[in-house]
Structure 1
C-alpha cells in the first residue's frame, strides 16, 4: 500500500493524514452549507470545530492509553508519543463532550448542532478509513478467501499475509451511514434524533465489523474487544436519546 504519499523538501506527507484532512475538510464544507440552508448560525462553527478536535484528540488518546494500560505503567514514556495510537471511539465520545460544553458555554442548542454535524462525522470517518487501509492499520483477521489483501513490509499490517480488508468494510459502512443520516435529517421530528440514529447504527456496524478485526492492540473486555464493549453502551445511549428527544418534543407541544 501507499503509506507515504510524497516527500517534499524533506517533509513526508502520509496518505493516512492526508485523507483524514480531506475528510474533515469536506465534512466541514457540507456542515456549513447545510447549516446555512437550515437558517442556523454557522459563524460559531469555527470555534466549535476547535473544541471538537481538541476534545476528540484527547479522547482518542486517553482511550488508547486505557487499552494498553499495562504498557503505559511499565513504560510511561508512551504518554509522550502523540504520533501513534488513537482509538476512534475515544475521539467520538470526546468530541461529543467538547461539543456539549461549547454549546452550553455559548448558550446554543446542543442537539440541533449535534444533528447538523454528525452526518459529516460519518463522511470523515469513511474517508479516514481509506487512510487506515493505505497505512495498513486496523487490519482484519487472516483469511484464505478471495477478498483477502496482502500488505507490503512497510505497512502496519503483517507483511505477506492475506487479511480481511476491514478498513474498506468500515469505510463503505460509514459512507452508507452518511447518506442514511442525510436522508433522515430531512424527516426528523425532534432535535437530537439524527445524532441518536448515528449512535445506534454506528455502534451496531462497529460491533459487527470488530468480529473480523485482527489487530490485537485494540484491547479486550472479556470475550469482547474494547470497541464492542463500548458499542453496547453507545447503542443504549442512542436508543435513550432517540426516545427521549421525541418524547420531550411531544410533551413540549402539548
Structure 2
C-alpha cells in the first residue's frame, strides 16, 4: 500500500524494512521480559536472538534463491546486488531454529524450554513482518470480487488497480492471535505444574502456524513462489513441519513409550 513511509530527497524509508525492525524489537522485548521472569540471563538471550536472526535471515534468502532462481547460486555477485529482494519465511524459521538450538546448547539451556518461551515472540515478529508485506505489496492474494478485497495503486510488486484477497492482513491477524494463544498456553502449563514436559508450546506453534500457512497459500496470487503439482512449495514444507511439530508436541509420550519398551 505504501512501499516508502518517508521520502526526503534521496533518503527513502521502506515500509517493509521498518515493520521488520519494529517486529524484531517488540519480539525481543517480549522474549527477554518473559525470560528474565523465569531466571534466564538477559545477555545470553540477546546473543541467542541476534544469532538466530542472522541464521534465519540468511536461510530465508537461500531458500528464496533455491525456489526462484537456483542459477544465482553460481553468481555470488548478483546475489549481493539483489540481497535485499526476496525472502521465504519458512527458510527463516528453519534456519533460525537450527542456530537457536546451537546457541541454547552453548549456554547449556534446554532448546525446548527456551523454545517454548520464544515462539510467541516469533509469531509476533511474523505478524509485523506481514504488515510490511502489505506495505510493499509482496505475498499478495488472488483477484477477488469480495467486499474484503484490497486494491494497490502504486505497488512495484502486486498487480495494481485490481481487487485482491488481503492475504497479508489475514496472515498478520492470524500471527498475532497465535502469539496470544502461545503465551496463554505456556502460562497454563506452568500453573498446572506440567511445564516439566518442554516442547509442548514449541510443537503447538509449529503445528498451528503450518496449518494456517497451508490454508492461506490457497488464496495467494503470487504464482512465482514455486509449485510442485497443485501445491505450492510452502505447502509441502508446511506438511513436513506439521509432522515434525506433532513429534515435538508428543515428545513426553514418545519418551514414556520408549521407557516402557525398554522395561
Instruction: Report the alpha carbon displacement of residue 73 of structure 1 after superposing the two structures with TM.
Output: 6.8
In the alignment, the residues of structure 2 paired with residue 47 and residue 249 of structure 1 have an alpha-carbon distance, to the nearest angstrom, of 34
Larger mean CA deviation between 43-52 and 209-218 belongs to 43-52
Q: Which runs of 5+ in 2 are unaligned?
A: none
CA distance in 2, matches of 1:15, 1:72: 27
Query: Is the 2:53–2:96 contact (alpha carbons within 8 Å) kept by the matching residues of 1?
Result: yes
Partner of 2:125: 124
Q: Which moved more, 1:67-76 or 1:54-63?
A: 67-76
Secondary structure of 2:188's aligned partner: coil
More displaced, 18-27 or 145-154? 145-154
Of residues 215, 223, 236 in structure 2, which corresponds to 1:229?
Answer: 236
- CA deviation map 1:61-90 (0-9, x unaligned): 111011113553797654222110100000
Question: In structure 1, the residue corresponding to 2:238 is in which secondary structure?
Answer: helix
- Seen in structure 2, the aligned counterparts of structure 1 residues 39 and 105 have a Cα distance that, compared at 3 Å, is closer
* TM-score, normalising length: structure 1: 0.93
Contact kept? 2:2, 2:154, Cα under 8 Å = no
Q: Is the 8 A contact 2:51 2:99 kept in 1?
A: yes
Q: Are the counterparts in 2 of residues 193 and 246 from structure 1 also a CA contact under 8 Å?
A: no
Residue 196 of structure 1: aligned partner:
203
Partner of 2:79: 79
Residue 211 of structure 2 corresponds to residue 211 of structure 1: no
Q: Is the 8 A contact 1:60 1:88 kept in 2?
A: yes
Alignment of 1:10-29 (within 5 A): 10-29=10-29
Structure-1 residue corresponding to 2:159: 158
Distance 2:101 2:109 in 1: 10
- Is 2:3–2:135's contact at 8 Å kept on the other side of the alignment? yes
RMSD: 2.0
- The 5 Å alignment of 1:73-152 reads 78-80=78-80, 81-152=82-153
Question: What is the TM-score of this pair, normalised by structure 2?
Answer: 0.90
Structure 1 residue 220 corresponds to structure 2 residue 221: no
Q: SS in structure 2 opposite 1:6? A: strand
